[in-house]
Every structure is written in C-alpha cells, then in structure tokens.
Amino acid sequence: MNAVQRLRKRVIVAILGINILVGVIVGCVLYYGFPNVYFSWYPSIPIYFTMLGIVMSSIMFRHSKDQPKKIIHVYMTMRVVKLLITLGSILLYTWLVGEQKLMFSIITIGFYFLYLFIETYFFYRFEKMVKQEGFDR
C-alpha cells in the first residue's frame, strides 16, 4: 500500500470518526441540554457531511493521479461547490421543512467549518507528502 492509499484511508476514517463523535456529542447536548432547540432533522446534518466528505475526498484522490498539476485548482473548485451545495441545502431546508431554521443553519455552518478545517489539514499533509523526494502518486 503506497502513501496515497494510506492517506486516503486515514481521511475516510477521520471523516467517519470525527463525524460520529461530534454528531453524537452535539446531538446529546441539544437533546438533553436544550430540548427546546433540538429538531428532528438534526441527524441529517452529520450524515450529509459524512457523505459529502467521502465523495469530495474520493474526487480529490482520483484527480491527484489523473491531473497532479491541477490539484490546487480541483481543491478550490470543490470548496466552492461544497459551499454552494451546503448553502442550497440550508435554503431548501428552510423552504421545505422550516423547523428550527436558525438552529439548523447555525449547526450546519458549524459542521461546514469543522470539515473545512479537517480538509485543509489533510490537503496540507497530502501536499507535504508530494513534495518529499521519491513520492510516487
């Protein structure tokens, strides 16, 4: 197993682990600590970011082999697409469901920033591996 495959597995495990951990903690805090602001659609937020994170990381790793010189462009494009999809999902939720709109928006944006941090960290690690001598994509 080469370094890219190991990093890809780490990214997926990190996405799942962090999502489960943060999702359960925030869900419990909302459900038990602030039951008046808990909303039934809360579990959809961690599920959404888990799926989005796995899809986006798979796209990144696929493009790292196909177009290694354009990886920064792909990374930034995916950031914009992820932002637009997330904003669209918030708007769609407020339009169709409308339950606890403000809390849904705040929690979704919080998860977005958490994943922004995670993705930035792993992209930094990936680029650091690329710059090492003898690294084979």
By C-alpha distance, which of 7, 8, 4, 30 is closest to 111?
Answer: 30
pLDDT at 115: 85
Q: Does residue 68 have a pLDDT over 70? A: no
80 within some domain: yes
Q: How confident is the model at residue 86 (pLDDT cuts 50, 70, 90)?
A: very high
Domain span at 44? 3-131
63 within some domain: yes
Phi, psi of 3 (to 5 degrees): -65, -35
Integer Cα distance of 125 and 81 in angstroms: 22
Residue 49 or 8, more confident: 49
66 within some domain: yes
pLDDT at 70: 73
Distances (CA, A) of 26 to 35, 100, 104, 111, 121: 12, 15, 12, 10, 22
Q: Quickly tell me which residue has 């177009």 as its tokens.
A: 67
3-state secondary structure of 34: coil
pLDDT in tens, 28-54: 999 999 998 888 899 999 999 989 888
Q: What is the mean pLDDT of the chain?
A: 84
Q: How confident is the model at residue 137 (pLDDT cuts 50, 70, 90)?
A: very low
pLDDT at 114: 87
Domain tally for the chain?
1
Enter the tokens of residue 3: 């370094």
Q: Where does the chain have alpha helices with state H? A: 3-28, 44-66, 71-96, 101-131
Backbone φ/ψ region at 85: left (φ over 0), alpha (ψ -120 to 50), beta: alpha
The DSSP call for residue 39 is -
136 within some domain: no
137 within some domain: no
pLDDT in tens, 98-134: 888 999 999 999 999 988 888 888 778 777 776 674 4
Q: How confident is the model at residue 16 (pLDDT cuts 50, 70, 90)?
A: confident
